[in-house]
Amino acid sequence: MPLPRPSRLPRSAPERPGPAPRTLVMLAFEGARLLDITGPLEVFSSATRLGGRYAIQVCSPDGRTVTTASGTRLVVDAAVADIAAGPLDTVLVPGAEELTQGRFPPGLLDSVRTLAGRSRRVASVCAGAFALAGAGLLDGRRATTHWRHTATLAARHPTLTVDPDALYVRDGELFTSAGVSAGIDLALALVEADEGSDLAREVARDLVVFMQRPGGQSQFSVPARTPRPRHDVLRALLDAIAADPAADHSNTALATRAGVSPRHLTRLFREHTGTTPTGYVEAVRLEAAQSLLANGETVTAAARRTGIGSDESLRRLFLRRLGVTPSAYRSRFHTTTR
């Protein structure tokens, strides 16, 4: 008996090629901080694994293995000159302590200029901003860097407007960020711009990080970045403000508690904190509101529980200090807990 003929399988339609992946180049160099390199790369590699489209290359000015600041040796894919011809999407430049002292590894600035000239956008992590500025990319621009080095960056490059407290700053297609963890915030922001908030949120969940801190958010909490005052009365006031931001912390009330005149209190605050009593209280209340929103509180509850008052007052404060609305801030943070 003849064997039955196998049925003919339907011919599948030819697969249509998807959009070309975005070519992302990390420029490594001698003495670079390892986490400045690996932090953003983890974000982009996770995004690719979860459905994004990035083609990642790590290069060095001469193609040689580099030794990072931690002593870890990093094997690169290519020299800058050997990166395949054609336009690039993103160039990332990490930081190094030597850059803040005006010492640049051989070929670094030329490499930055070469890659930037081929790329749609350029981003730096931490002290990498010094390399962008040294290459002439930040003239007349806004930028940030690690809080320890913002004053140095501003003094060395007078045409540059330095934001001393932002996590990251965008000026056109140039991006600069603060310390190493801010490089992850910046990378998440770039993924969100490229692939949408859903994928960026999945990457944040995968890496167990916040999605994502707004660029204008402060690098440090108010108490952490305020030197502990030597004045006993002022120390007690700062502790009371932090413990209960919603209490009556008007100038008159604070001066009464301190046993000094409102005018003398303002002098003490300026001398020891660099701001006025009103400015300090506002900053503490803002951070308290951020924490409440990140933990799922409504805008109304956050405004009331921090002493800011109304939704509109909270909205104006967020826009002025962070550049986002309270609702947008809450959405970015609270979605990571769902």
Token digits of residue 119:
């790329």
The DSSP-derived string for 100-131 is HTT---TTHHHHHHHHHHHEEEEEE-TTHHHH
Is 126 annotated as catalytic? yes
Cα-trace Rg, the chain: 25
126, 187, 189, 303: the active-site residue: 126
CA separation for the pair 98, 216 (Å, rounded): 26
On whether the CB atoms of residues 133 and 157 are closer than 8 A, the answer is: yes
Cβ contact 104:136 at 8 Å: no
Long-range CB pairs of 153-157, under 8 A, 24+ apart, other chains included: 153/100, 153/129, 156/102, 156/130, 157/133
How many angstroms separate the CA atoms of 125 and 149, rounded? 13
Query: What residue has token string 């604070």?
Result: 254
Helix (H, G, I), strand (E, B) or coil at 147: helix
Residues whose CB falls within 8 Å of the CB of residue 317, separated by 6 or more in sequence, listed in order: 282, 285, 286, 289, 308
DSSP state of 13: P
The SS3 of residue 274 is coil
| DSSP 8-state secondary structure symbol assigned to residue 196 | -
Place of tokens 């104006």: 316
DSSP letter assigned to residue 23:
E
Contact criterion met (CB below 8 Å) for 56 and 83 = no
Q: Provide the annotated active-site residues.
A: 126
